[in-house]
Amino acid sequence: MRIAVLVSGSGTNLQTLIEKLHQDETIGIEIAVVISDRQKAYALTRAKRAGIPTHVVKTRDFENRVDFDAEISRLIEHYTAELVVLAGFMKLFQPPFVRKYKNRIINVHPTLLPAFPGAHPVADTLTYGVKFTGVTVHFVDEGVDTGTIIAQSVVPVLDTDDEESLHNRIQVEEHKLYPQVIKWYAEGKLKIKGRKVIVR
Ligand code: GAR
C-alpha cells in the first residue's frame, strides 16, 4: 500500500513510520510522498534522507484554502497514495477534501479525544489537571479532531510534568500506536460501524 504523509514540524512520527513500515520490506507499505506546508519542517530532512520524494505546499501561495487542498490532492493522486497520514500536520482541510478522502485520512492526536482537541492539546491537558491522558488515532472528518476513533493508548500525567516532559512520554506511545494502526488499515482489519471502529 502506498501512503502520503503530511507534516508541519519535527517529524518524529514520520521517522518512526520510515523505520517501522517503509524500510521493512516484509510489510508492504511504502511512503510514496511527504508533503509539508512549512519549508523549514525538519520532517522534510528526514524524508529526503530516506530517499522519499518531498513537496512543500504553502497556504499563502493559493487564493483560498480549497485551492490549497486541491494542490495537495493533486500530489496524492500523482503519487497514487491510497491513505493520507497526518503526522503533526497543523492545517485543517475544507469539506470537499475531507469528503473526497472519506475514511482514507488518519490523524494522530496527543490526548484522549474527545478531551482537549485543537492546537494546544498538551498545554490544555496540564492546565485542566487530569491524571491520565494519552494518544488517539482517528479518521479525519469535517470537524476539529472529531472523527471516528480507531485506537487509543493511555499515558499517566505526573505531578512533576511540564509540557515538554508530558509530550515526550505521549510521543513514545504515538510511535508505537501509529505504525500499528497503519498496518491494520493496510491489512483490511479496520471495520467501521457508525462511530465505532472494530479491529478484526
Ligand atoms: C505529535 O505529537 C502529534 O500528536 C501532534 O503533533 C506532534 C507532531 O510531532 N499533532 C497534533 O497536535 C494534531 N492536532 P512530530 O512532528 O514529531 O511527529
Phi-psi region of 124 (alpha: psi -120 to 50; beta: other; left: phi over 0): alpha
Give the per-residue pLDDT at 168.
Answer: 98
Of the pLDDT bands very low, low, confident and very high (cuts 50, 70, 90), residue 30 is very high
Cis bond before residue 114 (omega within 30° of 0) = yes
Measured distance CA(98)–CA(112) in Å, rounded: 22
Tally of helices (H runs) and strands (E runs) in the chain = 6, 9
CA distances 136 to 72, 107, 171, Å, are 24, 8, 11
The ligand 1 atom at the shortest distance from the C-alpha of residue 110 is: 4
pLDDT tens column, 46-92 = 999 999 999 999 999 999 999 999 999 999 999 999 999 999 999 99
Of the pLDDT bands very low, low, confident and very high (cuts 50, 70, 90), residue 6 is very high
The ligand 1 atom at the shortest distance from the C-alpha of residue 170 is: 2
Q: State the distance from the centre of ligand 1 to the C-alpha of 183, rounded, in angstroms.
A: 19
Please confirm, yes or no, whether 109 is among the known catalytic residues. yes
pLDDT tens column, 150-177 = 999 999 999 999 999 999 999 999 999 9
The mean predicted confidence, pLDDT, of the chain is 98
Of the pLDDT bands very low, low, confident and very high (cuts 50, 70, 90), residue 187 is very high
Residue for cell digits 497514487?
80
Alpha carbon nearest to ligand 1 atom 6, residue = 88
| Ligand 1 binding site (Cβ under 6 Å of any ligand atom) | 9-13, 43, 87-88, 108-110, 121, 171, 174
Alpha carbon nearest to ligand 1 atom 5, residue = 88
Report if pTM > 0.85. yes
